[in-house]
Amino acid sequence: MKKALSAGVSIAALTSVAFAANSLDSNPNYVKLKNFKPNPAVTNEQCLMCHKAQDPGIVADWQHSKHAKAGVGCVQCHVVPKDYPTAFKAHPMQGKNWTVQIAVSSVTCAKCHAKEVTEYLNSGHARAAAQWLASNMGKHGFLMSKLAYNYENMKGKHPSLNGYSAKKMAAGIRKDNSVFASNQNNPRQADLGVANICVQCHGTTVKLDKEGRPDPATWPNDGMASLYPDGGVGNCLACHSRHKFSAAEARQPAACSNCHLGPDHPDKEIFESSVHGHIFDTNEKDYNFETGKQIPGKTLRAATCFTCHMSGINGLKATHNVSLRLKWNLWAPKSFLRTKGAETAGWAFWSHGGKIIPGKTILRGNPKAGNPQGPEAARAR
């Protein structure tokens, strides 16, 4: 069961206005991390002396990964400066200027995968946590939260509701208030409801204790765009699960459909009931996800999510910006054209290194994010 959240971002900050510079270097923690050199030097073998016995599954996943084959291991992802925002100060193995981080964000991934993280921050995926944490105060966000609240088992008061009562959330939909609010005095059960409703897909605000240990109410979670103390947005695990971080796994329809389903965005159901989905479900042997090349008749028989939204098929440039090829935003009850260019929520958090600046930081995001050249350019792709 994924852990539940404790929303740690103020609503005033979430609804203020700002424009972020869309540059990875706008996050001072990214600049610090990419230029950092541990002293004295530390090796992956030193980490494995303990973790082979303590975490054999983690080590086995890493050993079968492309990271391991390329010489990228524990040190490259977990060793950070002692004064880094996610530093674990109580780790038994430390150097003069370094310790380890437990909660690894996209800031670390960007050291090697700058292009991919930049594209991700330009996409609607990057507002997944920030938007739902802020959205209950807006009319549309409140109605979406109400939909989830009524039909996906929260049944009680929770901090993510920003003060809204169970009675208000139930109004107009439910009459069995005593049953509906059955978790009102059971916050743990309400937390688990939130984990299923929101956190496991959207993410949350990741909190650490004074020693740098993650708060179990907020981490681990594999939500698409959790907000980390170092300004990182997400950690790539929503699609590339740890510690194998497989691109082939992320290209599978299942990597998308575990979140893109249900009454508010029934993409899984639409795909599975389509001819494309039927062909995939009955002919999986005809698909090769080990390569990003999409060659009909050779690596696939019919399109998948990856083919249309991310791949380099027919001369297109492969991208991690899943909004780039979208013409319409299909949110009910009204659809609208995507006319506002790149996403803004992720950059707003990233550019200040995770610090929320009242009056300057907007995390609500840009629902009309799409192709910077306009919706017709998106359709042309």
Under a CB-based contact definition with an 8 Å cutoff, are residues 299 and 288 in contact? yes
- pLDDT of res. 20: 40
Asked whether residue 231 carries a pLDDT value surpassing 60, the answer given is yes
61 close to 244: Cβ distance less than 8 angstroms: yes
Which tokens is 246 given? 């497989």
Question: Cis peptide leading into 333, omega within 30 of 0?
Answer: yes
Enumerate residues 6+ apart whose C-beta is below 8 A from 7: 133, 159, 160, 162, 204, 205
| Angle, alpha carbons 290-280-288 (nearest 5°) | 15
Choice among 33-37, 104-108, 193-197, 248-252 with the minimum mean pLDDT: 193-197
Residue found by looking up tokens 């880094």 in the block: 84
123 or 190, greater pLDDT: 123
Kindly provide the residue ranges of all beta strands, DSSP E only, lying in the chain, ordered along the sequence: 79-81, 87-88, 98-101, 328-329, 336-337
What element of type H or E holds 254?
A: helix 253-257
- How many CA atoms within 13 Å lie on the side-chain side of 198? 35
Give pLDDT, residue 338: 96
Q: What mean pLDDT is predicted for residues 323-335?
A: 87
Burial (CB count <10 Å: 0-12, 13-18, 19+), residue 206:
buried
> Among residues of the chain, what percentage have pLDDT more than 70?
78
Look at residue 129 in the predicted model and tell me its pLDDT. 87
pLDDT tier, 6 (very low <50, low <70, confident <90, very high otherwise): very low
Which residues are paired to 214 by β-bridges?
A: 208
Mean pLDDT over each residue of the chain, to the nearest integer: 85
Beta bridge partners of 15: 362
